[in-house]
Amino acid sequence: MRAVRNGCFFGVLDMWRTAQMVNLNLSPASMRVVKLLVGNTPKSVADLIREMKVTRTAVTEQLNELVAAGLVERQMQRLPGRGRPRHVYSATPGALLLLLSKNQEMVLPNIWRAIREVGGPKLLGEVIKQVSRWLAEHYRKQITATTPAERVLQLVEILREEGVLVDIQEENGRYTIRQRSCPYIMMYEENRAACLLDQETFALVLGGPVRQVACRHDGAPCCVFEVTKDNPATDAA
């Protein structure tokens, strides 16, 4: 998991996205391996063969798939005496997110609902501003471009690397960012906080105003943001 500030938010977010993408193609046998490893001490291939009653080849193939997906970790274990060391396997935090994705979908919207009901619009706005600052810090650390146009293009590439479906078009000195997938879809239905997070984050990263010109809440197929090419790109935001 990527080590970052603020409770490792981005590492958790990356793992959740990875877990959801992997879940689409995970076989029932591989899912069974995950469930056997989660919450248990590390298991060897022999342990899994005994518990699953399948061949060594089948277990090895499933473990290789899960290790590559970041859901299972392989370690070397030395046994007492002169026995040869062996590989053992354990579930990663990503496996926990895979199994508890439905719970995560319930928790985050309710957190935002609680913030709004306890503190009202003012507290909700302050929370969005603070989270936007953390998000902007995360992206600014990765941006090396100095001109406004290059910063916009680099930000879009970073979003794509993180798994966000995003398109960008330039016309008459104006960039249009079409964010076809929502990075914060778990909180989408509750309110427009997800849209405000995107807009505030983009503005802080690019150092100037960003205008939202389309929104899923208004019936558009995706959220669209507009940035002028001569946006002042500063790090003082």
Does pTM surpass 0.75? no
Look at the chain and count its residues: 237
| Cβ atoms 194, 131 nearer than 8 A | no
Q: Write out pLDDT tens, residues 171-218.
A: 888 899 999 988 776 665 556 777 888 899 999 998 888 999 998 888
Residue labelled with tokens 């002169």: 82
Q: Say which residues have a Cβ less than 8 Å from residue 131's Cβ, sequence separation at least 6.
A: 197
In order along its 237 residues, the chain shows pLDDT tens digits of 333 334 444 454 555 555 554 554 678 888 899 999 999 999 999 999 999 999 999 999 999 989 988 889 999 887 776 667 889 999 988 888 777 666 666 777 788 888 888 988 889 889 889 989 999 999 999 999 888 788 899 999 999 988 889 999 998 888 999 999 887 766 655 567 778 888 999 999 988 889 999 988 888 888 999 987 655 543 333
CATH of domain 108-228: 3.30.1380
Q: For residue 89, what pLDDT is reported?
A: 96
Write the class of the CATH domain 5-99.
mainly alpha
The whole-angstrom separation of Cα 165 and Cα 91 is: 29
Common-topology check for domains 5-99 and 108-228 = no
Q: Return the CA Rg of the chain.
A: 22
> For residue 19, what are the contacts with CB-CB under 8 A and spacing of at least 6?
71, 94, 95, 97, 98, 101
Q: In this structure, what token pair is assigned to residue 5?
A: 């500030």
Cα dihedral: 222, 227, 228, 233 (round 10): -160
Cα end-to-end distance, the chain, whole Å = 28
CA dihedral 135→233→193→98, nearest 10 degrees, is -30
CA distances from 27 to 23, 40, 88 (A): 8, 21, 21
Q: What are phi and psi of 209, to 5 degrees?
A: -65, 140
Annotated domain spans of the chain: 5-99, 108-228
Q: Which residues contact 163 (CB under 8 A, 6 or more apart)?
A: 17, 18, 21, 181
Tokens describing residue 120: 């009202």
